[in-house]
A and B are shown apart, each in its own frame.
Chain A
Amino acid sequence: MNFPGKQLLIILLIVIGNLSGAVLFRDSLSNGLIILTYEDHRLPMVDISFVCRSGAVFDPDGKAGTASLCTDMLLRGTKNLTPDSIAQILDFIGARYGTGTDFDRCFINLRLLSKDLTTGLDILSEIILEPTFPIDEFTRTQEQALSGARRAYDYPSSVVGMEFDRLLFGEHRYSLPPRGDTATIRKITRDDLKNFHKTHFVPNNCFIVFVGAVDHNYIKNEVNRRFGNWQPRPVSNPQPPELTLPEKIRVKLITRKEMNQTYIQFGHPGISIFDKDLIAIRLMSYILGGPPLSSRMGLAVREYGGLAYDVRCWFDRRLLPGAFRATVQTAKPKEAIEKMFAEIRQMHEKGATKSELLKAQNYFTGSFPLSYSSNQGKLDRVTEIELYRFGIDWLEQFPVRVRTTTLEQVNEAAKQHLFPDRYIMVIMGNVTKEELNLPDAEWIE
């Protein structure tokens, strides 16, 4: 058995208790790879997420989609395993697995029966450490990515979202979807994937989360045995977008005569997930445009207005500053827009009420434990905690932070972070400028 040595183990070990009696551990190898284990022995199963902290924002210029393609290709062949054998082994043991990429991370998720844990770890280490990016698989995976990117243009909600991002984020990587776009995916080469892997898949830039019937001490030894000799390398930080707040409403109208409904997305520059007002902003946007049946926008547009099935707004929560967005799909765009504008203005000028805040706080604190009652939920929460460095005690701290947020803070957040009538706006449907009646808007051709 190849065991690189205990000296590599355990720089830091933090253990906390939590509400359900299970325990969350955080450890790190000397090469910087972090291991988090949330022990939960209810069922003989394990969920694993391997996360690389570099997401699509690290795509090379003009080659949006590189991170996504690189991550997909990890399952498509390694030094010791063909892509078919990877799938054969994982399918045969009944594992669920998949890869994903967003702006902030690339990840591989694996759900296994406990008895198959070592098989899963063997494959996981092989695909992370020894991928070969075979040429035939690269061509096929690139075609699949292109097909996905083309299909995104078949859906109006996706089109307005992509166009909004283009207009708001300009030259920054945020202007295109994490998976890239048709033009950029075509430019990606196999060497780009190899470079991305070499640069970003390094132990000091990655972490692994385990949830389920596992023992932390066993896990750290097994991870160390497989990843202990992986060499660290310096990693860089991503560049934030340079966002400009529009002076007035700037509208891009996309005419689609065949549509019987108009799709709308509008908004302006927002915040990063590290914003000091994050909790207050989340509470405020929940009150303004959270649940479509009970938020202010939901009540005005859906419940009382009967203008839409779904209406909402939110602030992106990403490592770098993102957008504040509002969306609606309606046969009566003029009326829906007026109501949404009015609710944002009202929130900005007069803020929320005490009872609205209490209701939002109750919802946030009450639903939070539900969000990690299942293993999948625990995996999501622990990943979020580590990725955004919320701190190992976040499961306890989040409800406290929500409860101690004051009405003044929420109302100040509305003043500071909502900018009525200074929107980028994309409208798509069978509607004219005249029908929309936006007299002060600047129309983007």
Chain B
Amino acid sequence: MLYNILSLFFVFTVPSEVDHRETKGEITAIESRVTEFTLKNGLHVIHYFDSSAPVVSVNVYYRVGSYDEQTGSTGISHMVEHMSFKHTDIYKPGDFDRMLDSVGANNNGFTSTYYTGYYEELAKEHWELALKLEAARMNNCIFPDSEFESEHQVVAEERRLQDNRPTSNLWEQFEAIAFLAHPHRNPTIGWSDDVGKFTVEKVRDWYKKYYNPANAVIVIAGDVPLEEVKSKVEKYYARFKGTPVKRPDFYDIEPALAGERRLVLRKRVNVPTLLIGFPTPGIRDSLYIVGDVVAAILGSGRNSRLYRTLVIDSGFATSVSAWNSVERDPGILEILVTPKAESLIPRIETVILTEIKRMVTEPVSTQELQRVKNQTLATALFDRDDISDIAWLLATSQITAGNWRHFLQQIERIEKTTPEQVLVFCKQYLTEQRRIVGVLLSDKEVK
């Protein structure tokens, strides 16, 4: 189809045959740049060498996040992340930022479902400073009572920011009805009541349990040689005691959907939002990556099926997008729509179901599949532009799949996906009875 279009417009250069040799070569080259090693205390270190810019990215990830939290303590990993910027045995509040600012480093921390991560990106001559500060954060944080309350209030304010964003409310509550038992139902920042009940003792206990070398992965990416990485990591981290943490396995905990679930949220909004999800398998299922392909065919770009039917052909919506949220355990394939009007939502749902039925009954075209494959390969190459992106992929692959090659294997699997696999996947997972629907509507008091 593409070449037919191009042939109509002879002024345009027809792309050469789909030749990905060079791109694949660059992606494969990632493997030759990576070395991994483990200290005796269990600290896993991944080194990615790239000397094209005099920059180093230091990343320390802990296997702790909202996945590990129980009712009554949701958000505690995030609270610890906040507190870990403050006080260690030798550093006082503000020292981390003062020292990193003074060498022009970019740094931050973040909490997610499966990990809590910290990173510094800085000029190569200063990279050791990041490693040294992160070592203090790993083993020597102290949480004085006097510093807890103000940071607790800061986190409460961060929680309120979520409350005042209508679409954030929709996401949060959609996840909560999508998962009845799995910790995916809890927001990373925690539920308001839980956040209000944090104590400094809880923070200390959480830190003590999860922050240690055996529960961490360090990724050092950039212009620093392996020998130097080994010696400096040894210098700062070998003396710490490692205590492995056995993470609970909730992979199969979620009961099968017994029927459609629906959430209607009314807020002061001018524009409605429709969110439709279908539970999809996690990474232990050989078909899981097909969910990414299906999402791209349905809702990625102007030529995706739902954009065409909802935005261009029917004009029922002004935007549509889709993605598969699987990071490790079973997740959701989500379709996000901005309806042109609230009254059109039932018709939009019908159009989506019709398109889903098509996915279940007709194989996708070779061109559609090839588009997704080409985009996947190009994106994989583009990700190499920024060492922080590569570092993130290495660290999150290691934490979620236990293997830093996971993101490269995903690319290979997408490349090998067949129309038949797409059909099998859609038949199994995209059924009307397995639908979760969230709508955000005006409360009628809008401007």
Which of B237-245, B287-295, B372-380 participates in binding chain A? B372-380
Interface residues, chain B, CB within 8 Å of chain A? 1-2, 5-6, 9, 11-16, 19, 22-23, 26, 52-55, 85, 93-94, 97-98, 101-106, 121-123, 126, 149-158, 160-161, 163-167, 267-271, 301-303, 311-312, 315, 318-319, 338, 340, 367, 370-371, 374-379, 381-382, 384-387, 446-447
Query: Are A369 and B54 interface neighbours, CB within 8 A?
Result: yes
Identify 19 residue pairs between A and B in the complex whose beta-carbon atoms are under 8 Å apart, listed by A's number.
Answer: A89-B2, A89-B15, A91-B303, A91-B375, A115-B16, A122-B13, A147-B340, A153-B446, A154-B166, A261-B157, A261-B160, A293-B94, A299-B94, A303-B93, A306-B150, A331-B160, A366-B123, A373-B55, A374-B53
Query: Chain A residues with Cβ under 8 A from B161's Cβ?
Result: 261, 309-310, 329
- When A84-B302, A96-B382, A115-B22 are in contact, do A367 and B105 touch as well, CB less than 8 Å? yes
Please tell me if the beta carbons of A92 and B374 are within 8 angstroms of each other in the complex. Answer: yes
Contact check, B157 vs A330: say whether CB atoms are below 8 A apart. yes
Most buried by A among B16, B55, B340, B378: B378
Residue of A nearest to B121 (CB): A370
- Report the nearest A residue to B5, measured CB to CB: A85
Distance in angstroms from B254 CB to nearest chain A CB is 31
Provide the bound-state CA to CA distance between A32 and B14, in Å.
Answer: 30
**Option from A114, A258, A376, A377 in Cβ contact (under 8 Å) with B268:** A258
Tell me the complex Cα distance, A82–B119, Å. 45
Q: Which of A92, A122, A150 contacts B270 (CB 8 A)?
A: A150
Cross-chain contact B374 with A44 (CB below 8 angstroms): no
Contacting pair B160 A260 (CB below 8 A): yes
Q: Which residues of B contact A111 (CB under 8 A)?
A: 382
Task: Pick the 8 closest A-B CB pairs, nearest first.
Answer: A366-B104, A94-B378, A306-B150, A306-B153, A367-B104, A87-B302, A373-B53, A309-B158
Chain A 68-94 residues near chain B, CB threshold 8 A: 80-81, 83-85, 87-89, 91-94
Q: Give a binary string over A258-301; 1 marks a CB under 8 Å from any B CB, 0 the rest.
A: 11110100000000000000000000000000010110000100
Instruction: Check if A375 is an interface residue, CB within 8 A of chain B.
Output: yes
- Whether A45 pairs with B382 at a CB distance below 8 angstroms is yes
Residues of B near A144 (CB, < 8 A) are 318-319
Q: Does A364 reach chain B (CB closer than 8 Å)?
A: yes
Also in contact, A91 and B301, with CB within 8 A (given A303-B93, A306-B154, A363-B101): yes
| Other-chain residue from B101, B122, B151 in contact with A294 (beta carbon distance below 8 A) | B101
Contact A89 B5 (CB under 8 A): yes
Contact assessment for A294 and B384 in the assembled complex, using a CB-CB cutoff below 8 Å: no
Contact bitstring A142-155, B, C-beta under 8 A = 1, else 0: 01100110110111
Fill in one digit per residue for A343-359: 1 if any B CB lies within 8 Å of its CB, else 0: 00000000000000011
Least Cβ distance of B171 to chain A in Å? 14
Q: With A20-B52, A111-B382, A118-B13 as given contacts, are A306 and B149 in contact (CB-CB < 8 Å)?
A: yes
Kindly provide the distance from the CB of A443 to the nearest chain B CB, expressed in whole angstroms: 20
Q: How far is the CA of A43 from the CA of B163 in the complex (A)?
A: 43
Q: Given A153-B447, A375-B385 in contact, is the A291-B54 Cβ separation under 8 Å?
A: no
Query: B101 and A119: CB pair below 8 A?
Result: no
A192 within 8 A of B: no
Of the candidates A83, A156, A368, A374, the one whose C-beta lies within 8 Å of that of B385 is: A374
**A87 and B301 contacting across the interface, CB-CB below 8 Å:** yes
Residues of chain A contacted by B23 (CB below 8 angstroms): 44, 113
CA distance A368 to B123 in the complex (A): 10
- A147 in complex: contacting residue of B149, B166, B271, CB < 8 Å: B271
Docked-complex contact B6 and A329, CB < 8 angstroms: no
A20-B52, A80-B11, A147-B318 given as contacts; is B26 within 8 A of A43 (CB)?
yes
Instruction: Name which residue of chain A comes closest to B101, CB basis.
Output: A363
Say whether A340 faces chain B, with CB atoms less than 8 Å apart: no
- Using a CB–CB cutoff of 8 Å, the interface residues on chain A facing chain B are 19-20, 40, 42-45, 80-81, 83-85, 87-89, 91-96, 111, 113-116, 118-119, 122-123, 126, 140, 143-144, 147-148, 150-151, 153-156, 256, 258-261, 263, 291, 293-294, 299, 302-310, 329-331, 358-359, 362-370, 373-377
CB distance from B291 to the nearest CB of A (A): 20
C-alpha spacing A122/B13, complex, angstroms: 7
Closest A residue by C-beta to B312: A140
C-alpha spacing A126/B152, complex, angstroms: 56
By the criterion CB–CB under 8 Å, are B381 and A113 in contact?
Answer: yes
Most interface-central of A261, A291, A310 (chain B CB within 10 A): A261
Q: Are B447 and A44 in contact (CB under 8 A)?
A: no
Task: Give the Cβ gap from B368 to chain A, nearest Cβ, in Å.
Answer: 10
For residue B369, give the distance in angstroms from its CB to the closest CB of chain A: 11
Residues of chain B contacted by A364 (CB below 8 angstroms):
104
Which residue of chain A has its CB nearest to the CB of B269? A154
Q: Which residues of B contact A44 (CB under 8 A)?
A: 22-23, 26, 381
Q: CB-CB < 8 A to A302: which residues of B?
A: 154
Asked whether, in the complex, the Cβ of A92 is within 8 Å of the Cβ of B384, the reply is: no
Interface contact A122-B315, CB-CB below 8 Å: no
Query: With the chains together, A330 CA to B157 CA distance in Å?
Result: 6
Given contacts A91-B371, A303-B150, contact A151 B270 (CB under 8 A): yes
| 16 further A-B pairs in the complex, CB-CB below 8 A; given A258-B268, A370-B55 | A81-B9, A87-B301, A88-B303, A89-B15, A93-B374, A96-B382, A113-B378, A147-B340, A303-B150, A330-B157, A358-B102, A363-B102, A367-B105, A369-B54, A374-B385, A375-B385
Which residue on A lies nearest to B55, using beta carbons? A373
Q: Which of B11, B103, B338, B381 contacts A43 (CB 8 A)?
A: B381
B386 close to A370 (CB less than 8 A): no
Complex Cα–Cα for A188 and B5 (A)? 32
Task: Name the distance in Å between A394's Cβ and chain B's nearest Cβ.
Answer: 17
Whether A309 contacts B154 in the complex (CB less than 8 A), given A43-B381, A122-B11, comes out as yes
CB contact under 8 A between A92 and B271, given known A80-B9, A306-B152, A375-B385: no
Which residues of chain A are near B315, meaning CB under 8 Å? 140, 143
Min CB gap B110→A, angstroms: 14
A303 to B370, CA, bound (A): 51
**Set of chain B residues within 8 Å of A118, measured between Cβ atoms:** 13
Q: What chain B residues lie within 8 Å of A94 (beta carbons)?
A: 374-379
Which chain B residues border A80 with CB–CB below 8 Å? 9, 11-12
Most interface-central of A92, A111, A329 (chain B CB within 10 A): A92
Q: Give Cα distance in the complex from A20 to B301, angstroms.
A: 36
Please state if A374 and B271 are interface contacts (CB–CB under 8 Å): no
Contact assessment for A307 and B157 in the assembled complex, using a CB-CB cutoff below 8 Å: yes
Tell me the bound Cα distance from A94 to B26 in angstroms. Answer: 16
Contact, CB under 8 Å: A305 / B150: yes
A18 to B174, CA, bound (A): 50
**Which B-chain residue is minimally distant from A182 (CB atoms)?**
B270
Given A122-B13, A362-B103, A367-B105: A307 and B386 interface contact (C-beta under 8 Å): no
A203 to B6, CA, bound (A): 27
Task: Output the nearest chain A residue to B152 by Cβ-Cβ distance.
Answer: A306
CA distance A302 to B447 in the complex (A): 32
Q: Which residues of A contact B268 (CB under 8 A)?
A: 154, 256, 258
B6 to chain A minimum Cβ distance, whole angstroms, is 7
CA distance A291 to B379 in the complex (A): 32
Which residues of chain A have C-beta atoms less than 8 A from B158's C-beta? 309
Central interface residue in B54, B106, B166, B302, by most chain A CB within 10 Å: B302
Nearest-Cβ distance from residue A148 to partner chain B, whole angstroms: 8
With both chains docked as a complex, state the minimum distance between the C-beta of B131 and any C-beta of chain A, in angstroms.
17
A43 pairs with B385, CB closer than 8 A: yes
CA distance A187 to B6 in the complex (A): 36
**In contact, B104 and A359 (Cβ under 8 angstroms):** no
Residue of B nearest to A137 (CB): B312
Please name the residue on chain A nearest to B25 by beta carbon.
Answer: A44
Cα distance A260–B159 when bound, in Å? 10
Establish whether residues B340 and A303, one from each chain, have CB atoms under 8 Å apart when the complex forms. Answer: no
Tell me the complex Cα distance, A43–B104, Å.
26
- In whole angstroms, what is the CA distance A303 to B82 when docked? 11
